[in-house]
């Protein structure tokens, strides 16, 4: 046995050296991976976290008749914050009015005054801007109810919803300029999106069309728009 071990000593030494080299490589790779993860975690911890949320409440005596939109930073401090909001009433209707058809059309009406005003702070963190709406939630419901009451026989299966986009810009703790885009509906909190085809086309609608006022919009005008667009 002793002689066999002596004869194979060189092989054992070679294998041991190779194993140590492999282990050193594994440890080195693991260290690099841990360092990269630590850098990513540090980067995430040092980033702003912009949150856009809905707040519905009762103001004019109705049940949840008003809606605020609140923009907050829950991450690291920022400066030079700005926001731009685009609001549309989305209408889904039959493509051929007065007919029972599976073909549908979608119309977007830019709305200028869904939120009557804003309150902005100079905060670096926490609440940044609040968009204030008084009775705006009820006004949209009134439009839906009035349209159904007057025109449901001729224009059945017409649905109304609100769609909003918000562009925000700011400087982070390093002084870098950051731009983000959020999509907001009537129920959920705003969620960040890329500048996709939908937003690009609606931004064009916003810029090229006169904007309506939710306090004065008439369902008769909406009816005419549906008929004109579908003919």
What is the per-residue pLDDT across 124-164, written as a single tens digit (0 to 9) for each?
999 999 999 888 888 888 999 999 999 988 888 899 999 99
Please give the backbone phi and psi of residue 140, each rounded to the nearest 5 degrees, phi first.
Answer: -65, -40
| List of residues 6+ apart from 51 with CB closer than 8 A | 71, 72, 73, 74, 189, 190
Mean pLDDT, range 46-58, rounded to an integer: 87
51 token code pair = 């949150």
DSSP code of 186? S
Please give the backbone phi and psi of residue 201, each rounded to the nearest 5 degrees, phi first.
Answer: -70, -40
- Write the CA distances from 112 to 2, 86, 92, 195, integer angstroms: 94, 8, 20, 21
How big is the chain, counted in residues? 231
- Write the CA distances from 171 to 40, 166, 183, integer angstroms: 20, 17, 21
Identify whether the C-beta of residue 214 lies closer than 8 Å to the C-beta of residue 136. Answer: yes
Percent pLDDT > 70 in the chain is 74
Q: What number of CA atoms fall less than 13 Å from residue 175's CA on the CB side?
A: 0
Which comes out higher in pLDDT, residue 172 or 6?
172
CA angle, residues 144, 148, 154, in degrees to nearest 5:
135
- Residue 206 pLDDT > 60: yes
- Residue 45 pLDDT > 70: no
99 token code pair = 């007919």
The whole-angstrom separation of Cα 67 and Cα 139 is: 11
pLDDT at 80: 94
- Residue 115 pLDDT > 50: yes
pLDDT at 62: 63
Q: At what angle do helices 136-151 and 219-230 cross, to 10 degrees?
A: 60
- Residue 59 pLDDT > 50: yes
pLDDT at 111: 92
DSSP strands (E only) in the chain: 50-57, 66-73, 79-94, 104-111, 117-120, 126-132, 159-171, 177-184, 191-193
The whole-angstrom separation of Cα 224 and Cα 220 is: 6
pLDDT at 5: 43
Q: Residue 101's CB: how many other CB atoms inside 10 A?
A: 14
Identify whether the C-beta of residue 203 lies closer than 8 Å to the C-beta of residue 87. Answer: no
- Residue 12 pLDDT > 50: no
pLDDT tier, 231 (very low <50, low <70, confident <90, very high otherwise)? low
């Amino acid at each position: 046995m002793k002689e066999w071990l002596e004869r194979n000593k060189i092989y054992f030494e070679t294998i041991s050296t190779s194993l140590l080299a492999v282990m050193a490589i594994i440890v080195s790779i693991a260290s690099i991976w841990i360092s990269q993860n630590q850098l990513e975690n540090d980067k995430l911890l040092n980033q702003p976290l912009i949150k856009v949320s809905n707040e519905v409440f009762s103001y004019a005596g109705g049940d949840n008749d008003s809606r605020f939109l609140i923009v907050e930073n829950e991450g690291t401090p920022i400066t030079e914050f700005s926001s731009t909001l685009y609001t549309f009433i989305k209408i889904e209707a039959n493509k051929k009015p007065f007919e029972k058809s599976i073909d549908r059309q979608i119309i977007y009406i830019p709305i200028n005054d869904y939120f009557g005003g804003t309150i902005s702070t100079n905060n670096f963190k926490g609440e940044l801007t609040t968009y204030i709406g008084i009775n705006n939630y009820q006004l949209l419901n009134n439009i839906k109810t009035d349209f159904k009451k007057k025109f449901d026989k001729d224009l059945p299966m017409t649905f109304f919803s609100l769609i909003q986009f918000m562009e925000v810009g700011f400087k982070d703790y390093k002084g870098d300029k950051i731009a983000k885009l959020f999509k907001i509906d009537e129920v959920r909190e705003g969620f960040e999106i890329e500048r996709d085809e939908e937003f690009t086309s609606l931004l064009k609608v916003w810029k090229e069309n006169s904007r309506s006022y939710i306090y004065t919009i008439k369902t008769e005008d909406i009816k005419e728009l549906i008929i004109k667009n579908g003919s």
